[in-house]
Copies of this chain bind each other. A is one copy, B any other.
Amino acid sequence: MNIDSLRSEVRQWLADHWDLAADRAEWLAAVVDRGYAVPRWSREDFGLGLDEESAEAVEAEFRRAGAPGSGQDRTNLWANTVLAYGSADLRQRFLRPLLLGEIRMCLLYSEPGAGSDLAGLRTTAVPDGDSYRVDGQKVWTSNAAEADYGMLIARTDPEVPKHRGISFFFLPMDQPGVTVRPLRQMTGEAHFNEVFLTDARVPAANMLGEPGQGWRVLQTALAYERVVLAESNRGASTRHAKKDGGEVDLIELARRHGRLDDPVVRQDIARVLTLRAANRWNNQRAQAELEQGTSSSLASLGKLLMSRLLHETGRVQTAIVGAEAMLEGADHPDGDDANFAAMNAYFTSIGGGTDQIQRNIIGERILRLPKEPDRFRDVPFREIPKSG
């Protein structure tokens, strides 16, 4: 089928079925059954086996209609991971419910002792009959309290080098061994949780990939997560949503505070607006390169530049509002915003890989500078020095 007729077909189907008032579950079921949820996947896996261009056309029609549910073969982190590494049994049990949004998920990756060095994780999973016994602590988990399952990485073999002793599981969250505690951020918000795993259990059948292959599974999952992040490209917080795509209007802010005539403030504002524009254009270029199939080095820069932009924005907001930056709360929205911006910028410069780790990645993967020598590459995890 050529693209144009595919396009008309999808358009017609949407015209026949899509209704803003439709029940979401029913609608998603219809999309999944029709194959539009994952058009690139094979027909055995709820897809249509379409090539990229055709699949893009299907997604475009859904976007045009404002209908959700398509393109999950790009954006559904959970389903993609199951498809890539799940056994036939796991695919059977999880794929369709994940596409329908019936199973809620969370990520059990980071640990208090394993942040930048994620592979240094210390949560253990020890075989015990048909299941594994899991002990350890995870952190920075969103939606932990609501999730049915967590994508868990845990150490199954401490006697091999750290990357090789990790396995990847779908851990049931609703069990006595799992305790969730909200984690309050320095901004006062609580978007994340700590998850304590004490004699928690996960069936051996819920392992994705082979034992010790978990790091590779994780890389796939992380790649899909980056796609999701790029799609949404939004901060963690909705508390301080701004007009104009979430960006504070510094000119208006300066005008309101009588600072728009201050030459120093004007230089500051111009710098921030320039960084914003550069970041936007860099992202456009990255998008264009990705669409042409050129691997884009620009995509990796975005997070670093965004971090700089957010910190700089917080600084300039503070400079503009002056004394009001000592205040917070709804009575002082501009001061509150300035403080939130300045503090929440660390969400980006630390979360999802610190700026420092990001510079390593850019230096090594894009600029091809050599890695630092790693003395522990071939050392069993058990023997690697750890925090006291």
Interface check A267, CB cutoff 8 A: yes
Choice from B262, B263, B264, B375 contacting A375 with Cβ under 8 Å: B375
* Chain A interfacial positions (CB closer than 8 Å to B): 262-264, 267, 373, 375
Chain B contacts of A267 at CB under 8 A? 264
Chain B nearest CB from A68 CB (Å) reads: 50
Chain B contacts of A262 at CB under 8 A? 263
Chain B contacts of A263 at CB under 8 A? 262-264
In chain B, what residue has the closest Cβ to A373? B375
* A267 CA to B263 CA, complexed, in Å: 11
Chain B nearest CB from A266 CB (Å) reads: 9
* A373 CA to B263 CA, complexed, in Å: 48
* A373 CA to B375 CA, complexed, in Å: 8
* A263 CA to B266 CA, complexed, in Å: 11
In chain B, what residue has the closest Cβ to A376? B373
In chain B, what residue has the closest Cβ to A267? B264
Chain B contacts of A373 at CB under 8 A? 373, 375
8 contacts between A and B (CB under 8 A): A262-B263, A263-B263, A263-B264, A264-B264, A264-B267, A373-B373, A373-B375, A375-B375
Chain B contacts of A375 at CB under 8 A? 373, 375
* A264 CA to B263 CA, complexed, in Å: 7
Chain B nearest CB from A319 CB (Å) reads: 11
Chain B nearest CB from A72 CB (Å) reads: 45
* A373 CA to B385 CA, complexed, in Å: 13
In chain B, what residue has the closest Cβ to A263? B263
In chain B, what residue has the closest Cβ to A262? B263
Which 8 pairs show the lowest CB-CB distances between chains A and B?
A: A263-B263, A263-B264, A373-B375, A264-B264, A264-B267, A375-B375, A262-B263, A373-B373
Chain B nearest CB from A250 CB (Å) reads: 17
In chain B, what residue has the closest Cβ to A265? B263
* A375 CA to B372 CA, complexed, in Å: 11
* A375 CA to B262 CA, complexed, in Å: 54
Chain B nearest CB from A301 CB (Å) reads: 23
* A342 CA to B130 CA, complexed, in Å: 70
* A322 CA to B64 CA, complexed, in Å: 53
* A264 CA to B264 CA, complexed, in Å: 6
Chain B nearest CB from A275 CB (Å) reads: 18
Further pairs besides A264-B264, A373-B373, A373-B375: 5, Cβ < 8 Å: A262-B263, A263-B263, A263-B264, A264-B267, A375-B375
* A373 CA to B376 CA, complexed, in Å: 11
Chain B nearest CB from A130 CB (Å) reads: 43
In chain B, what residue has the closest Cβ to A266? B264
* A83 CA to B267 CA, complexed, in Å: 59
* A373 CA to B379 CA, complexed, in Å: 15
* A262 CA to B266 CA, complexed, in Å: 13
Chain B nearest CB from A322 CB (Å) reads: 16
* A210 CA to B263 CA, complexed, in Å: 65
* A375 CA to B375 CA, complexed, in Å: 8
